[in-house]
């Protein structure tokens, strides 16, 4: 679990450096993210929501990951394509 968290945080930092984020008027960066699982499955959705909270905490609120449950923006099986096309800034899925 710790390796996944470290990997995800590094991925976030690399993406910020590459300029894949949008900033609002206050300079806060807000990412649209979606899990592939619905919020009704706490064992699968909860880690994604927890990750979003950790990112906000670790960045002092400068980076906010707005996590959405599966299917709310794009169908769950299209998350990779949505991130590739820029519809989503971050996708969370587990295998």
DSSP state of 1: -
List the CATH number of the domain containing 14. Answer: 3.40.190.170
* pLDDT value of residue 8: 56
Three-state secondary-structure class, residue 39: coil
Residue 88 sits in which domain range? 2-92
Q: pTM to 2 decimals?
A: 0.69
Q: Residue written as tokens 């806060």?
A: 28
Distance from the first to the final alpha carbon of the chain: 13
How many domains does the chain fold into? Answer: 1
Residue 42 CA: distances (Å) to CA of 11, 29, 35, 38, 50 = 24, 27, 12, 8, 11
pLDDT band at residue 11 under the 50/70/90 scheme: low
29 with 62: CB under 8 angstroms? yes
* pLDDT value of residue 93: 86
Query: Looking at the predicted structure, is the pLDDT value of residue 75 above 90?
Result: yes
Rounded mean pLDDT, 23-33: 80
């Amino acid at each position: 679990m710790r390796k996944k968290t470290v990997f995800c945080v590094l991925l976030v930092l690399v993406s910020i450096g590459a300029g894949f984020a949008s900033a609002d008027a206050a300079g806060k960066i807000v990412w649209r993210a979606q899990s592939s699982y619905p919020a009704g499955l706490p064992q699968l959705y909860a880690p994604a929501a927890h990750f979003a909270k950790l990112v906000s905490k670790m960045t002092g609120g400068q980076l906010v990951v707005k996590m959405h449950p599966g299917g709310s923006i794009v169908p769950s099986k299209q998350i990779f394509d949505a991130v590739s096309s820029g519809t989503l800034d971050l996708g969370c899925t587990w295998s």
